[in-house]
């Protein structure tokens, strides 16, 4: 089993691509854990078509505004597996390269192992 919360940081930027120095931006973060199909159930039939039997399960997420243009995001990554992280701005526009695909391995790094996510670039 993986350990503790997983974290990453969003860095907001202004219209010129410079890091913002204040907070107050709104980001919506959705994290889903992809479950593996049950043994012997690699594919299921849905409406006559074969589909992957894996499901996406929502994961608890918290976004903390540091009031300096950065936003710490933490989520419950205590279970090893594949996660899909979608990040959008206040207008529902996805950040560049969102959604992000993350694999948490058993015994993954503990809380505090933050990584930078591509900064938000306002769309005009």
Query: Please, what is the Cα angle at 101 between 97 and 106, to 5 degrees?
Result: 150
**What does the H/E/C string look like for the chain?**
CCCCEEEEEEEEECCCCCECCCCCCCEEEEEEEECCCCCCCCEEEECCEEEECCCEEEECEEEEECCCCEEEEEEECCCCEEEEEEEEECCCCECCCCCEEEEECCCCCCCCCCCEEEEECCCC
pLDDT in tens, 71-102: 999 999 888 889 999 999 999 999 999 999 99
This prediction has a pTM of: 0.71
Residue 65 has pLDDT above 90, yes or no: yes
Q: Above 50 in pLDDT, residue 121?
A: no
According to the model, what pLDDT value does residue 47 have?
56
Q: Choose between 57 and 1: higher pLDDT.
A: 57
pLDDT at 59: 94
Q: What is the pLDDT of residues 2-39, one digit of tens each?
A: 557 899 999 998 889 899 999 999 999 999 999 876 55
How is domain 5-38+50-117 classified at the architecture level of CATH? Answer: Sandwich (2.60)
Domains in the chain: boundaries: 5-38+50-117
């Amino acid at each position: 089993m993986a350990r503790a919360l997983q974290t990453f940081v969003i860095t907001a930027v202004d219209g010129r691509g410079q890091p913002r120095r204040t907070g107050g931006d709104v980001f919506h973060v959705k994290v889903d854990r992809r479950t593996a199909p049950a043994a012997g159930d690699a594919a299921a039939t849905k409406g006559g078509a074969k589909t992957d039997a894996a499901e996406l399960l929502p994961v608890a997420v918290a976004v903390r505004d540091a009031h300096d243009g950065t936003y710490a995001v933490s989520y419950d990554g205590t279970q090893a597996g594949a996660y899909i992280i979608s990040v959008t701005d206040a207008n529902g526009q996805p950040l560049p390269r969102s959604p992000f695909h993350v694999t948490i391995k058993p015994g993954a790094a503990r809380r505090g192992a933050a990584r930078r996510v591509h900064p938000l670039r306002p769309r005009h």
